[in-house]
Amino acid sequence: MSTAAGTRRRLVLAGGTIGFGFGAVIDTVVFHLTFQTHHLLSGYYDPYSLDGLRTNVMFDGLFLVATLGITLVGLGLLWRLVNGTAERFSTRYLLGAIVVGAGVFNVYDGIVDHYVLDLHNVVHGTEAWNPPWVVVSVLLLVLGLVLLRTADGPVLTADTE
């Protein structure tokens, strides 16, 4: 039998894992591959040379596969939690956990990848967009925490709709 606190932790873990992976997938597809401004290793491989671009796109693809794997792990955790239960889970609480996970990924990316490891910048050749990236990432994290705090709880009862 699971406790409410255990269910809450499991739902935050599942949603957070989904959000972390899916936030990275969105980042990779939109910024790395579509806009081509944010290649994973552009701090090491020149994205303006053909060899550098090919290397960056290869690593972007490998990163995309890994982050899809993380997303699938989160979906598996969620499936294990909700499969076979009669409980109704709060969509808002799950969404909050997913947004927190995406925020954690983006804060990590903005601080560790952009500043500590210097893997890449938001826009190649300039650090000007790095601080706004971190600010938006923190706001995303805060939004997720607000959603978690204002949700009715992870599990809905007949009285909470």
pLDDT of 161: 46
Please state, rounded to an integer, the average pLDDT across all residues of the chain: 92
The closest alpha carbon to 29, from 20, 18, 38, 42, belongs to: 38
In the structure, what pLDDT confidence band is assigned to residue 2 with cuts at 50, 70 and 90? low
Helix, strand, coil fractions of the chain, as percent rounded to 5: 70, 5, 25
pLDDT of 5: 82
How far is Cα 112 from Cα 143, in angstroms, rounded to an integer? 21
Name residue 126's beta-bridge partners: 123
How far is Cα 82 from Cα 98, in angstroms, rounded to an integer? 16
Q: What is the pLDDT of residues 42-87, one digit of tens each?
A: 999 999 999 999 999 999 999 999 999 999 999 999 999 999 788 8
Phi, psi of 89 (to 5 degrees): -95, 145
Q: What is the pLDDT of residues 106-119, one digit of tens each?
A: 999 999 999 999 99
Domain-wise residue ranges, the chain = 4-150
Helix ranges (H only) for 28-161 are 50-82, 91-108, 130-150
pLDDT of 3: 79
Q: Are the CB atoms for 31 and 47 separated by under 8 Å?
A: no
Q: What is the pLDDT of residues 20-42, one digit of tens each?
A: 999 999 999 999 999 999 999 99
pLDDT of 85: 82
